[in-house]
């Protein structure tokens, strides 16, 4: 048994049963992240009077051009679902793998609901106003997901573990500030948090790609 196997025998190292499936899920993970960024950029350009510094993403998900941001959000939800499926595929036996899978699914559902319930953007107060509560829940879920990933991948890919800790720290500090800061700047701040999340999911997708190309755990860390 080599050093990698010795160090990780108790860490529930995953087994890759289908590298082709992992590659497909990694590609979906990349595409959804690109869709999120592209939708935000295009929406900010075509929506009249939109100010990306002071206006939040929710403002783009309402009105005449709401379809642009909705597609971007649903595309990113697809990224999260793909990463959840990949995590389930890699499941190394620890409860943390199950927890990360569930958290990613929950975040994906939250993103879909945020796209569908955009009371911030159109001022609609009919029915149950749940947007803000979903945003709170999503923030907590992201932090939990970052921490779980940091713990699960510390022996497999140290760079991703460290990146996950950084993402968790940025969200723990940045998310509460977002809800307290002046509306003149909250749009840019929100997008900053979104970039952190998008870079993290893209990093996860890149790690999955590398794991699929090198499925022999004896040759890890990556």
CATH code of the domain containing 84: 1.20.1070
Look at residue 53 and tell me if it is in a domain: yes
Look at residue 5 and tell me if it is in a domain: no
pLDDT tens-digit profile, the chain (222 residues): 444 444 444 446 777 888 999 999 999 999 999 999 998 889 888 888 777 787 777 777 666 778 888 889 999 999 999 999 999 999 888 899 999 999 999 999 999 988 877 655 455 555 446 777 888 899 999 999 999 999 999 989 999 999 999 999 999 999 998 888 887 778 888 899 999 999 999 999 999 999 998 877 666 777
Q: For the chain, first and last CA: distance in Å?
A: 18
Look at residue 181 and tell me if it is in a domain: yes
Range of the domain at 118: 16-213
Look at residue 222 and tell me if it is in a domain: no
Look at residue 8 and tell me if it is in a domain: no
Look at residue 10 and tell me if it is in a domain: no
Look at residue 146 and tell me if it is in a domain: yes
Stated pTM of the model: 0.86
Q: Into how many domains does the chain fold?
A: 1
Look at residue 93 and tell me if it is in a domain: yes
């Amino acid at each position: 048994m080599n050093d990698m196997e010795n160090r990780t025998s108790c860490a529930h190292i995953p087994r890759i049963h289908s590298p082709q499936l992992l590659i497909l899920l990694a590609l979906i993970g990349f595409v959804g992240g690109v869709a999120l960024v592209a939708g935000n950029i295009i929406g900010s350009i075509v929506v009249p009077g939109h100010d990306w510094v002071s206006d939040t993403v929710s403002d783009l998900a309402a009105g005449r051009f709401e379809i642009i941001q909705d597609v971007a959000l649903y595309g990113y939800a697809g990224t999260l679902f793909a990463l959840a499926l990949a995590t389930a595929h890699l499941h190394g036996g620890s409860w943390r793998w199950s927890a990360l899978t569930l958290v990613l699914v929950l975040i994906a559902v939250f993103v879909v609901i945020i796209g569908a319930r955009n009371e911030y953007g159109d001022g609609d107060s009919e029915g149950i106003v749940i947007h803000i509560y979903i945003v709170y829940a999503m923030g907590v879920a992201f932090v939990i997901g970052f921490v779980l990933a940091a713990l699960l991948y510390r022996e497999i890919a140290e760079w991703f573990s460290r990146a996950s800790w950084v993402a968790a720290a940025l969200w723990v500090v940045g998310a509460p500030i977002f809800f307290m800061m002046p509306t003149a700047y909250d749009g840019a701040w929100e997008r900053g948090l979104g970039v952190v999340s998008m870079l993290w999911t893209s990093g996860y997708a890149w790690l999955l790609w590398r794991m699929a190309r090198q499925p022999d755990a004896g040759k890890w860390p990556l």
